[in-house]
Amino acid sequence: MIPHYFLYEEAASKVEPSFLHIEPIPVRSGRHNWTIRTHTHPDHHQVLVISKGGGAIEVEGVSWEVSPPALVIIPALTIHAIRFRPGTDGYVITVALPFLQSALDDDANLIDGFRVPVRFLSQQIGRDIDLVGLFASLEHEFVWSAPSRRTAIKAYLQLLAVTVRRLLEQERVRPISSAREAETVMHFRELVEKHYRDHPSLDVYARKLGVTAARLNACCRMTTGKSSLALINDRLLTEAKRNLLYSDMTVNEIGAALGYADPAYFNRFFSRNVGLSPGRFRERLFSDETRAAAS
């Protein structure tokens, strides 16, 4: 099962889970060998700015190469993993949904920029936007217990949201969904997280959400750019890949754990979507790891 965290490997957080957290990338990633394994944040969005180094961020099974300067938005419930290059620097913001909503209440359109996973690289950001300075100022307010701390942090969040919104408009990223569509997709993904091993039909999911299967599919496409079935398949594939990489379960055992009574059907499903059989995928991963360790 994909781990759920507020902060990575901090199930019982000592910070303010209803508020916001910001820290330099090396603080957490450095002590985990610059590798953040697959996980998700059910109730928090994450925003990363990378000022030095870079690496690869896997978001819902898609790998993004990032190099500085880069800005990455990871919405709540998005399954992701990160492998930074050693020495990477920048900041990570983890912000609770209600706090972000309250900070952006005066301009509801700004919340749209946090509903879809997206990355902006140097050619999109340009030289006129000082993202690192913005994050550094926000971190200063976060660690400095000065009067009106929360108000100042909200102000910096608003500036960040405006920047994201303008970058989205500039790049003409996929159509932005309404709040109702985004909420439907969030509840759908919560249900998928609970039931994906049981393989319920799309009609079952839709009935639980009080919409038709066609409406659910439209909401998913508008909000994520993927169909509802693709989101379910992505979740199954992410769990399969995680078990192939991090467990000693056999391929048949992994298929059974994911609800596939017929091993051949699991093999066909994985091969059709990944382009490799589960066994070959595992072999390639370990051969890549061996080469990386030797270099």
Q: What is the band of 15 on the pLDDT scale with cuts at 50, 70, 90? A: very low
What Å distances lie between residue 255 and 70, 260, 268, 285, CA to CA? 37, 5, 11, 18
Express each pLDDT in 142-167 by its tens digit: 988 788 888 999 999 999 999 998 88
Class of the domain covering 177-293? mainly alpha
State how far the Cα of 14 lies from the Cα of 35, in Å rounded to an integer: 22
Residue 282: predicted pLDDT: 87
Q: Which of 59-63, 236-240, 248-252 has the lowest mean pLDDT?
A: 59-63
Residue 175 has pLDDT above 80, yes or no: no
Question: Boundaries of CATH 2.60.120.280 in the chain?
Answer: 20-171
Q: Which of 53-57, 176-180, 194-198, 242-246 has the lowest mean pLDDT?
A: 176-180
39 beta partners: 80
Stretch 172-185: mean pLDDT: 65
Buried (b) or exposed (e) across 31-61, using 16+ Cβ within 10 A? Answer: eeebebbbbbbeebbbbbbbbebbbebbbbb
Residue 3: predicted pLDDT: 59
Question: Boundaries of CATH 1.10.10.60 in the chain?
Answer: 177-293
State how far the Cα of 281 lies from the Cα of 270, in Å rounded to an integer: 10
CATH number of 20-171: 2.60.120.280
